[in-house]
Each structure stands twice: as structure tokens, then as C-alpha cells.
Amino acid sequence: MPKTLPDFRPGGVLATSFTGTLSERHGTPVERLPTRQRLVDWLGEHGLAVRSCSAAQLDLARELREAIHLVATAAATGDGQPPSAVRVVNDCSARGTAAALLAADGERQWRLGTQSCVDDALGVVAADAISLVAGERDGRLALCASPTCRAVFLDTSQSRTRRWCDMNTCGNRQKKARLRARNADVATPR
């Protein structure tokens, strides 16, 4: 029976959705890009359809994912930007030749070049990360309050006090853990 791969986590911001392809970084990591085809699938789901991916491109994608996570985390915490991660993000952004197009519905779409579509797609993701870290979005970068997750997300809530990258996963998990702890404390004789 084939192994079921974990679903991609939803997200409205391209760069942070990309970093979410590796979750539970501080617990038991969940890799959502274990194969080249999974990268192709993820890119397609985000409007960056490519036909294929080489092993080297998958390695580059994972390197970019981790670099984006590092620069976004530094931005969220107010720490200095790690030079090697900045270099990876900038190199991937400069490598791509994708063009932004305005669709009939008013949404932005991307036209990827014919030479190396994966490089173009990663360039789009890197450019999105630059926009996010540079503060060009309405919202603030924040870290998930789950100690095993610590994913970076864009908090667009009115009060800018959102605690979880995703309420349906991390938020619920943490609330259930607090409830179990409370119930265990009540059940423990004193």
C-alpha cells in the first residue's frame, strides 16, 4: 500500500505557505516535499505550474525554504538578518525570469519562462519573501506560539495579536493540551 503523504497546509501568503512545507520544525518534522513530484504539485497549487523538477532543483527549493524561514523569523523577532540566508533568497529571486500578468478577473498570475520553470517559480517565491520581510504587506510577521511549530505567518488580524499559524492545527492542538493538563490536575488527588 503506498505511503500517504501529508497534505499541504493552507495559507494565503506564498512565501509563508512555502515554508509550511516543513512543519513541526522543533518537534518531529513533517516534510511535505519529500519528492520532486511533490514540489511540482505544490507549485501547481500556487499558480506556478511546472512540468518537471530535477533533484538539484528540489534541493535548491528546500534550501530556499529554509532561508526564507530564517529571514522571516529574524524579521518577526527583530533580530539581524542572517547573511547566508539573505544571499540564498536574493540569488533565487535574481535567477528567475517570471513575468507578472494581470488576469481578466483582476488577479495577478505568473508566466514562467521556458528554460527552467522551477527556477522561475522559485524566483517568484523568493521575491514574495523579500516583499514580506521588507514590510510591504498589511500585517506583521509573527511566530506561531506552538513550541513545536514556530512557523512564521503574516498576522493580518485587526489587533495584530494572533498566536497560531493555523487555528485548525496548532491552535487546536495547544488548546487540547491545556485542557488535558487541566483535567489531569483536577483528577490528581492532593
pLDDT at residue number 188: 65
- The chain-wide mean pLDDT, for the chain, equals 87
pLDDT at residue number 189: 65
Whether residue 127 lies inside any domain: the answer is: yes
Condensed to tens digits (0 to 9), the pLDDT of residues 155-165 reads 888 888 888 88
Whether residue 76 lies inside any domain: the answer is: yes
Q: Cα-Cα-Cα-Cα dihedral of 31, 116, 136, 15, to 10°?
A: -10
pLDDT at residue number 1: 46
The percent of residues above 90 in pLDDT, for the chain, comes to 46
186: confidence class by pLDDT, cuts 50, 70, 90:
low
Whether residue 38 lies inside any domain: the answer is: yes
Which among 28, 38, 9 has a CA at the least distance from the CA of 149?
28
pLDDT at residue number 140: 86
Cβ atoms within 10 A of the Cβ of 47, count?
15
* Domain span at 139: 14-187
Compute the distance between CA of residue 175 and CA of residue 179 in angstroms, rounded to an integer: 6
CATH of the domain at 181: 1.10.3300.10
Whether residue 6 lies inside any domain: the answer is: no
Residue 80 has pLDDT above 90, yes or no: yes
Whether residue 3 lies inside any domain: the answer is: no
Mean pLDDT of 166-182: 74
C-alpha cell at 79: 533580530
Residue 112 has pLDDT above 80, yes or no: yes
- For the chain, the domain total comes to 1
Whether residue 8 lies inside any domain: the answer is: no
Highest-pLDDT range among 59-68, 141-150, 151-160: 59-68
Whether residue 9 lies inside any domain: the answer is: no
Q: Which residue matches cell numbers 516534510?
A: 31
Residue 175 has pLDDT above 80, yes or no: no
Whether residue 4 lies inside any domain: the answer is: no
